[in-house]
Each structure stands twice: as structure tokens, then as C-alpha cells.
Amino acid sequence: MLTVRPRRITAEKFLRLRDHDQPMELVRGRIETMMMPAPRHGFYCVRAAVIAHEYASKHKAGRVISNDSGVITERDPDTVRGADVAFYSYKRVAKGKMPKGYFPAPPEVIFEVRSPTDRMGRILKKMGEYLAVGVLAVCLIDPDRETITVFEEELPPRILRKSATLELPKILPGFRVPVARFFDED
């Protein structure tokens, strides 16, 4: 019996696909559909985006993107992950008109919001991909536990509880935010 495997596609072809009803990522050249997140997920993504944008704006440091915007984490075969919220400094993506397509460099910081359906093994794989491609820190926001786990290359993960302060001094000088602020629902 002949088995036909779907052809792998590139990040560039993936970018040109028509919009679909479900979120998708490209994993090693193959399209994977994802669950549509609940509004609660979007709420915490907005909280992270606002906090990151306030920093970027105050320090004139870079751009903040959201809404599962594509980040290339692997080439040949290509993988494009959807970051919930990402910070790109002007060193990595220059000021001026927003580039079309995927950015040429990875972001410095990514904020991912854990959904109730996310499996830890899959989350850790994605965090590893981000770090391997040059993301300097990935902050996993867990609304159920009200924690932020910070992943940085060559460092053990740091779990920050609601009473702690999130700081990334080597990456975002002056970024100092109470973890509780990410979980305020007012």
C-alpha cells in the first residue's frame, strides 16, 4: 500500500497561506492546528502586552507584538511558533516602518500564557526552541497558579509567585514589575 505524506512547506509559504478559522503553527515543515483559546487566555496576554509596551515606550527600547505573531525557531525544515507576546529591541528590529513578513531576528523576551489544555512537555519543548534560536528569556505566565516561570539559557527556571517582582536586568534594564500586576483583574 502506498502512503502519501504531506509535503513540507517553508516559513515563507506558511506566511502566504490564506487565513483559517483556527490558529496554526508550522512545526518542522508541517502545519499543526491549535485550539482556539478562551477569552481568559486573551485577557492575560493583553496584561502582558500592556506591561511590556509600557516598558518599551517609556525607555524607547523597542516593539511589542502579540496575537500569536510568528517567530521562526528552526530552518530546514522550518518551524514557526506563535508567540503570545514578544519584545523586540530596536537593535534586533530597527525603528521605522514595520517590516512585512517574519522579523529577521528572534525577540529578546517572549511572554507565553499557559492555557488549561497545555501539556507541560509541549510547553517545555516550545520554550527550548525559543531559547535555542536566540530568545534571551521566556516568561511563562500561569493564571491558575498565579506564577511566572522565567526560562533563560544556561540558567535553571525561576518560579516567581504573586508576591515577587519580575526583573530582567541584563535584557531589559529598568524593567521591574510586581508579578501580582500580571494577575490583577480590575
Tens digit of pLDDT for each residue in 22-74? 778 888 888 887 777 888 899 999 999 999 999 999 999 999 999 888 999 99
Instruction: Tell the burial category of 96 from Cβ atoms under 10 Å away from its Cβ (0-12, 13-18, 19+).
Output: exposed
Please write the tens of the pLDDT for every residue from 60-107. Answer: 999 999 988 899 999 999 889 999 999 999 999 999 898 889 999 999
Domains, the chain, in order of start with CATH, read: 38-183 (3.90.1570.10)
The continuous run of DSSP H or E covering 79 comes out as: strand 79-89
pTM to 2 decimal places = 0.90
- Cβ 69 vs Cβ 88: under 8 Å: no
d(C-alpha 149, C-alpha 7), whole Å: 36
- Three-state SS at 94: coil
Instruction: Tell the burial category of 116 from Cβ atoms under 10 Å away from its Cβ (0-12, 13-18, 19+).
Output: exposed
